[in-house]
Amino acid sequence: MKAEKALEWQKLYQKAVSQSDPEQVPEDIARAEAALLSRAKKLTPHEADEPERRAINDALATLRLLKVRHLPGWK
């Protein structure tokens, strides 16, 4: 189950960062962010979850960069 949930956010994140249709970018970013934040809330403070927590933080940082690039007025 844990692997399935991780895979879900990773798929949405990959879709957002590889989206070539500018009209789809905002929606894909929003979906990926929602999945990332939802997953982050479910992670425990245990060391076993730390690699995924770091991956989520990195993905969120990349999505912020995409927002700056593709969403005028977003800072």
Q: What is the pLDDT of residues 5-24, one digit of tens each?
A: 668 999 999 999 999 998 99
The residue count of the chain comes to 75
Question: Could you say which DSSP state residue 49 is in?
Answer: G
| Rounded distance between C-alpha atoms, residue 39 and residue 36, angstroms | 5
Residues of the chain with pLDDT under 50: 1
Q: Cα torsion for 27, 30, 31, 37, to the nearest 10°? A: 180
Is 0.75 topped by the overall pTM? yes
Structure confidence at residue 45 (pLDDT): 87
